[in-house]
């Protein structure tokens, strides 16, 4: 079977075709739709990604509820930039970077966590791409986050996803993902919506 051939095809599809017509049609329809102003994932969708990455679930397993039940979900947080120091070195042949400390706030406005990290600018045009690496501390443990994000896409309402590795407390030994979505661009610096899912 070809890598691109799907199992469980619709009856009207050619079973010997190298690419599933259903998959091709779904992709074309997706690009014809209005994408809206946000691409945020729901916590359950992010939990499915964490379960897949942990090897705790495969699409052939059927129902996903059991695999998702063991996921740690930290949802509904607002991330606020509290300290930000930039270093401009691109003009002298280096790279521009920033060190930051952000606070995480719950829906009631309580400060529930702190993230300390660095961002390195990989490119400015046509989009600003940055590599982020940070450590997040909550009262029940810590985890590290890293990844490459498209800052231009964030400012246009698109969600970015970073990898998370648990280091202590209830997060120790767990892996997963974090989402970062612009929440309020009117604030200076802007506020972000974040969620973390680990398994």
Domain count, the chain: 1
Select from 137, 153, 155, 156 the least CA-distant residue to 145. Answer: 137
10 Å CB burial of residue 7 (0-12, 13-18, 19+) is exposed
pLDDT tens track for 29-61: 444 544 455 567 788 888 989 988 888 888 888
Average pLDDT over the chain, rounded to an integer:
83
Per the structure, the complete domain to which residue 79 belongs is given by 3-198
Reference 149, options 140, 137, 158, 139; nearest CA is 158
Of 57, 26, 39, nearest to 154 by C-alpha is: 39
On the question of pLDDT at 195 being above 90, the answer is: yes
Across the range 86-95, mean pLDDT stands at: 80
pTM for this structure? 0.77
pLDDT for 12-25, tens place per residue? 556 666 655 555 45
- Residue partners of 24: CB distance under 8 A and separation at least 6: none
Average pLDDT over residues 58-81: 87
Cβ atoms of residues 104 and 114 within 8 Å: yes
Distance (Å, whole) CA 138 – CA 135? 10
What value does the mean pLDDT take over residues 66-70?
81
């Amino acid at each position: 079977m070809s890598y691109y051939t799907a199992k469980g095809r619709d009856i009207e599809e050619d079973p010997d075709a190298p690419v599933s017509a259903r998959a091709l049609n779904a992709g074309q329809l997706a690009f014809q739709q209005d994408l809206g102003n946000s691409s945020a994932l729901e916590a359950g969708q992010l939990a499915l990604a964490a379960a897949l990455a942990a090897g705790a679930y495969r699409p052939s397993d059927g129902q996903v509820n059991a695999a998702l039940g063991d996921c740690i979900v930290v949802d509904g947080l607002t991330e606020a930039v509290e300290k930000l120091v930039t270093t401009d070195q691109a003009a002298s042949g280096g790279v521009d970077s920033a060190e930051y400390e952000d606070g995480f706030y719950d829906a009631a406005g309580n400060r529930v966590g702190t993230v300390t990290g660095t961002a390195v600018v990989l490119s400015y045009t046509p989009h600003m791409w940055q590599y982020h690496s940070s450590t997040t501390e909550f009262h029940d443990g810590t985890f590290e986050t890293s990844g490459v994000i498209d800052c231009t896409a964030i400012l246009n309402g698109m969600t970015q996803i970073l990898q998370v590795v648990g280091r202590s407390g209830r997060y120790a030994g767990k892996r997963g993902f974090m989402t970062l979505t612009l929440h309020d661009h009117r604030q200076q610096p802007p506020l972000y919506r974040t969620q973390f899912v680990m398994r």
